[in-house]
Amino acid sequence: MLSRPPTRRVALATDLARFGDRPALVEGTRVLSYAALAARVDEVGRALGGTRRLVLVAAGNDLGTVVAHLGALAAGHVVLLTADRDESVAELVAAYDPDVVVRGGRVEERRERSAHDLHPDLALLLSTSGTTGSPRLVRLGAEGVQANAEAIAEYLSVRDSDVAVTTLPLHYCYGLSVLHSHLVRGARVVLTSLSVVDACFWDLVREQRVTSLSGVPHTFELLDRVGFGAEALPSLRYLTQAGGRMAPERVCRYAELGQRQGFDLFVMYGQTEATARMAYLPPDLALEHPSAVGVAVPGGRLRIDAPDPSTGVGELVYAGPNVMLGYATTPADLARPREVAELRTGDLARIDDAGLVEVVGRAARFAKVYGLRVDLDRVDHLLADDGLVASCASDDERLVVAVQPPGRAGRPGQDRRLEARVGAKVRAITSLPPSAVRVVVVLELPRLASGKPDTRAVLALAADARPPAPEDVRGTFALVLGAERVDDGDTFASLGGDSLSYVEMTVRLEELLGSLPAGWHARPVGELEALRRDGDAARRPRPRNRSVETGVLLRALAITAIVATHGNLLDLTGGAHLLLGLVGFNLARFHLTGASASERARRLLRSTARIAVPTVVWVGTMTIVAGAYPWRTALLLNGVAGPPSWSEPAWHLWFVEAVVALLLATAVLVALPGVHQLERRWPFWFPVALAVAALTTRYDLVSLRGGDEIHRAHVVVWLVALGWAAARATSWQHRAVVSLLLASTVPGFFGDPAREAAVVVGLLVLVWVPTVRLPSAVARACGTVAGASLWTYLTHWQVYPHLEDRWPLLALLASLAVGIAAQHAWTATTAAAGRVGSGLRAPRRPEPQRTAPGGGSVIATSPDSSTGRAPGTTLTATGVPTG
């Protein structure tokens, strides 16, 4: 079919070169100027050819997506933008038969000419919701796309010096508007898929000096969880919020925070049908009118249709150049001209005395959950098509589905399967995360006297209903941890598991798997799912090799060397001091995240308690029962109140004492606002400076207490600081600095070259080699030994002395076995106590922070066997390696 040429093209895509060498896009370490971006865009346009075609772009927050999108727009093609998900792409390809599909950097030309009659005004197609799975699309004209970008840039006063970051997906109209409104002003956009709960995201914000952050209400909930505002971001000029109503109290809180820290809060209102934005609330009115969405964007007009005389409430109607041409449900609709002059929003609103619009409800059955618009009627209809009698409702925080069991007679097992089936169906329809969908099985749907479903009663059902019990591992992880997406390579730790969610997850997984495998919290979801399906771990095929994080391997080797040395099997010292570097390494990775200073300190205190409590329990028991230790050792006070020189057995626990003391000192340090801000501003150089300062005690320039100095916390602190710096090293230059400090400061510390070499080599491997490949059996053994290292150290003093003279190898093996058994016993005991205690506590939603499962320490990490991810993805529970 011969496609008609476009009436006009989107100027923000064709005029990029006018900004010259100004930086346009940042992705990782790559910076693309406007001139270079224009050249890339022109190249894509030439590759797509002069015949106007329908181009489907599967969008990610990456450079390839932006170039493909702009290249197609600049060349006059029609872009159909969708999420880069198999189901979304397949559905739209089947429904609209695009001429070209661009996905993952690959261009699939399905035909040379277009199979469609594309209207000259048509430029962009977006999903009406991005959620319902409906093939209904919004038809947007080139004029509307350009006009809305300029309007947003105008009321936000976007400058060419501004820097935005992609906190939202680019296939979502809000996320796309952030890109467009910055391109029209020659500003910079940082492309990333990192979440705001990821410490690396905030490192990126500070590094790129980001000036604006955008989010839906759920984004602001996540900001609350990570302690946003505890430290100032000097570059930040404003926050924007849209994608659904945000609670007025949260609006006020962020507006007040902005006043204190120098940024503005723009509350906005929009729909895909208006390209993106229709209204905004001027920041100076946010505190006085936190429930309002404000005034129309420049060039637009808002009115209330047929307002109620008593309340002034009526349907909100918008007019402006950014209003869509109309909807499309079939390819034939792509030829249709403009059919919409005014946009009836479907929202009920009023205009207050200050002339500001306030949205008070919905005229139609639509909801916005997690910033995604859901057609509730469509969900009901699709469930009915599947033979299900159901009714759904929403309070804009979750989607509640009431469903009748077939035959109207449910049993617990059947009800759980029905919950799982309906939950999976609804998530497929809506793309909502499991945590946002609640399914309630009822014998009969609640209905009004008219016979219509009672949606208020449906919502009320969820208040008393037990949480749904998914029948697969992925759904269980999503439910317990509130994760929006769970992949096969994710683990309990990488998804933000904490001590409370650890207990609930243990109970639920035991129901699914029968018994929990050792180290389940560090196993990928895909591996646990395979255990569920196979029913017998022994029959499950295992990879011959797997990646193990270097820290895990070093920890396992170190505790083994410590016990083997004590048991007369070999003579290999230095392991404990090597592990001090690991303490700092994992301290930085898992506790010194983007949370507030107070939250960091609380986590460190909890971690310290989870090291100190089992130590005191065991050592105290051995002291009372067998008189094994002096009281100072049992209370971890030997370093400050015990004999100054090494003596047995008083100094046996020196490493645990040092770690506890250093964690407590770090908690105090990071709780200081000035120190907290310095560390966040200089994440690498702060620990380097700390290490250099700590050399004063290492070289005895400052002497706090003499005697056995190599085992005292204040003397070895420089090793912990260097491990901290190693975790913050983001370039080879940083790693070289750490390596130089290690190589120049460790020699001479012990007066034993072999011991010093073991520490230096081990820490250099930690700095430069993130993971190693090992046979699967060896990798599993490393994880088991590393995970039990604290208990191995605590108990081995009571095991090896009975065997070391005659059977040194048996002394090692027995010590490791007893330590592993003790670790399992302690874990089971604390889990059982947690299950009892959980019945006495109100449930708390887990925070998606990278904390240790079971509230454990941050001393060691475990590998992601399926992906071989870089360090920082997973960690073990409570073990602290000592020696």
Q: How far is CA 570 from CA 566, 671, 811, 812, 883, in A?
A: 8, 43, 12, 10, 15
| 127-131, 488-492, 614-618, 672-676 — most confident range | 614-618
Angle between helices 199-208 and 673-681 (to 10 degrees): 70
- Confirm if 815 and 799 have CB atoms less than 8 A apart: yes
| 80-94, 182-196, 608-622 — most confident range | 182-196
pLDDT, mean of residues 114-136: 80
Q: pLDDT at position 482, please? A: 59
For the stretch 2-55, pLDDT in tens is 568 888 999 999 999 999 999 999 999 999 999 999 999 999 999 999 899 999
pLDDT band at 80 (very low <50, low <70, confident <90, very high): very high
Instruction: Quote the Cα angle for 297-303-308, to 5°.
Output: 145
Q: pLDDT at position 841, please? A: 40
Q: pLDDT at position 394, please? A: 87
CATH number for 366-471 (one of 3.30.300.30, 3.40.50.620, 3.40.50.300, 3.20.20.70): it is 3.30.300.30
Alpha helix positions (H), 769-807 = 776-787, 789-796
Q: pLDDT at position 594, please? A: 55
Q: pLDDT at position 4, please? A: 83
pLDDT, mean of residues 719-745: 91
pLDDT, mean of residues 787-798: 88
| 334-338, 471-475, 645-649 — most confident range | 334-338
Q: pLDDT at position 824, please? A: 83
From CA 619, how far away is CA 141, in angstroms rounded? 74
- pLDDT at residue 818 tops 70: yes
Same fold, 11-362 and 366-471: no
Helix, strand, coil percentages for the chain (3-state, nearest 5)? 45, 15, 35
- Confirm if 587 and 855 have CB atoms less than 8 A apart: no
From CA 170, how far away is CA 25, in angstroms rounded? 14
- pLDDT at residue 708 tops 60: yes
- pLDDT at residue 861 tops 50: no
Q: pLDDT at position 541, please? A: 43
DSSP 8-state secondary structure symbol assigned to residue 302: E
- pLDDT at residue 450 tops 50: no
pLDDT band at 407 (very low <50, low <70, confident <90, very high): low
For the stretch 334-347, pLDDT in tens is 999 999 999 999 88
pLDDT band at 494 (very low <50, low <70, confident <90, very high): low
pLDDT band at 882 (very low <50, low <70, confident <90, very high): very low
Residues of the chain above pLDDT 70, percent:
84
pLDDT, mean of residues 114-118: 94
- Confirm if 578 and 677 have CB atoms less than 8 A apart: no
For the stretch 421-440, pLDDT in tens is 898 888 888 877 776 888 99
| Mean per-residue pLDDT of the chain | 83
For the stretch 539-598, pLDDT in tens is 344 446 665 678 888 989 999 999 999 888 888 888 889 989 988 988 887 667 555 677
Q: pLDDT at position 605, please? A: 87
From CA 263, how far away is CA 271, in angstroms rounded? 25
- pLDDT at residue 689 tops 80: yes
Q: Given the structure tokens 């920041």, which residue do they identify?
A: 283
Instruction: Sketch the domain layout of the chain as residue ranges.
Output: 11-362, 366-471, 547-822
φ, ψ of residue 176 in degrees (nearest 5): -65, -35
Closest CA to 446 of 438, 454, 437: 454
SS3 740: helix
Phi-psi map region of 822: left, alpha, beta (phi>0 left; psi -120 to 50 alpha): alpha
- pLDDT at residue 865 tops 50: no
Q: pLDDT at position 547, please? A: 58
Q: pLDDT at position 387, please? A: 80
CATH class of 11-362: alpha beta
Q: pLDDT at position 418, please? A: 86
Closest CA to 381 of 423, 344, 331, 426: 426
Residues of the chain above pLDDT 90, percent:
45
From CA 858, how far away is CA 726, in angstroms rounded? 15
From CA 233, how far away is CA 228, in angstroms rounded? 10
More confident residue, 248 or 413: 248
Taking the CA atoms of 396, 399, 404 and 406 in sequence, report the sign of the dihedral they define: positive
